[in-house]
């Protein structure tokens, strides 16, 4: 019942080529930088995993985290709502040269598709995108005089997330707005891997304060003082480090 694993390398060791991976975070807030960098480290050492489909709100910023994953050529397709950022060059160049596919999803539809995936609901109707280019080809139905677009659930093989406290059963709390997509991604992935800033004994987290119940979590790994994507970018960081 102890869901701890000792290292970030071990936590991402089973992600295969071609996997669909949900990655938590909205911009740098909640981005599991150490898990992403461990995945890149594995790819640099072994050539795997590659041809990944990555689901996140954005498509990376600068040259760390998801941007670094894309820069290494590990990502075949991005599913996101807003593939722009302060420094979106890595994704932009690969997209414009046809090296990476993009499925653009309105932000609330992205969130609800993920929630539906975790809740066992294969499709739902939403007013969002009705009459726009992003609804092309999707079934439309009228309910109580208003038109709604049918959207499908979104599931993943793995979710890589960051949380604040995690007990050995996988119960999680988050720090401020860093939770964003994490609680719903934890539900929607077949295997949910979480880096926690502090791993604690069961009973340490007040059950009233648990945000993600451990049933949705498979693996936790402690990463004390995790890197913050925004701070890394302000320092001009690259992963792996560029040597002159």
Partner 1 sequence: MTKLSNAQIAWRAAQDIHDGAYVNLGIGFPEMVAKFQPPGRQAVFHTENGVLGFGEAPAPGEEDWDLINAGKKAITLKPGAAFFHHADSFAMVRGGHLDVAILGAYEVAETGDLANWSTGPKGVPAVGGAMDLVHGAKRVAVITDHVTKTGAPKLVERCTLPLTGVGCVTRVYTSLAVIDIEGGRLVLREKLPSMSFDELQAVTGAKLHLDGPVSDLIVPEV
Binding site for partner 1 (CB under 8 A): 26-30, 57, 81-86, 88, 91-92, 95-96, 102, 104-112, 114-115, 126-134, 174-184, 211, 228-231
Nearest to 149 by CA among 157, 140, 158: 140
Distance of CA 110 to CAs 12, 92, 103, 123, 158, Å? 24, 21, 10, 12, 17
Q: Which one, 15 or 232, has the nearer CB to partner 1?
A: 232
Smallest distance, Å, CB 110 to partner 1? 8
Whichever of 5 and 102 has its CB closer to partner 1, that residue is 102
Which two three-digit tokens encode residue 47?
Answer: 């050539």
**3-state class percentages of the chain: helix first, strand second, coil last, to nearest 5:** 30, 30, 40
CB of 154 to partner 1, least distance (A): 12
Strand residue runs (E) in the chain = 20-23, 52-55, 75-80, 101-104, 123-126, 140-143, 146-152, 156-167, 189-200, 219-222
Q: For partner 1, give the closer residue by CB, 74 or 111.
A: 111
Question: For partner 1, which is the closer residue by CB, 215 or 231?
Answer: 231
Q: How far is the CB of 32 from partner 1 (least distance, A)?
A: 13
Phi, psi of 213, rounded to the nearest 5 degrees: -70, 145
Which CB sits closer to partner 1, 49 or 53?
Answer: 53
43 vs 16: CA distance, rounded Å: 11
String of DSSP letters for 69-96 = HHHTT-EEEEEES----SS-HHHHHHHH
Least gap, CB of 179 to partner 1 (angstroms): 5
Closest separation in Å from C-beta 58 to partner 1: 9
Nearer to partner 1, 44 or 150 (CB): 150
CB of 44 to partner 1, least distance (A): 27
């Amino acid at each position: 019942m102890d869901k701890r694993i000792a290292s970030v390398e071990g936590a991402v060791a089973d992600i295969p080529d071609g996997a669909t991976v949900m990655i938590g975070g909205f911009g740098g807030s909640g981005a599991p930088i150490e898990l992403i960098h461990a995945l890149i480290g594995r790819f640099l050492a072994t050539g795997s995993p590659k041809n990944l489909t990555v689901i996140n709100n954005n498509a990376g910023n600068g040259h760390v985290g998801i941007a670094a994953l894309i820069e290494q050529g590990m990502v075949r397709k991005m599913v996101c709502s807003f593939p722009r950022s302060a420094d979106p060059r890595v994704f932009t160049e690969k997209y414009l040269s046809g090296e990476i596919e993009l499925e653009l999803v309105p932000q609330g539809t992205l969130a609800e598709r993920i929630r539906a995936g975790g809740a066992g609901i294969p499709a739902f109707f939403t007013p969002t995108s009705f009459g726009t280019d992003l609804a092309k080809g999707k079934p439309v139905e009228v309910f109580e005089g208003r038109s709604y677009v049918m959207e499908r659930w979104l599931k993943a093989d793995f979710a890589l997330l960051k949380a604040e406290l995690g007990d050995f059963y996988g119960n999680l709390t988050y720090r401020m707005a860093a939770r964003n997509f994490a609680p719903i991604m934890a539900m929607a992935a077949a295997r949910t891997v979480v880096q926690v800033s502090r791993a604690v004994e069961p009973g340490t987290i007040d059950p009233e304060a648990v945000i993600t119940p451990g049933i949705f979590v498979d693996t936790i790994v402690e990463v004390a003082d995790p890197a913050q994507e925004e701070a890394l970018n302000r320092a001009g960081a690259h992963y792996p480090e560029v040597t002159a």
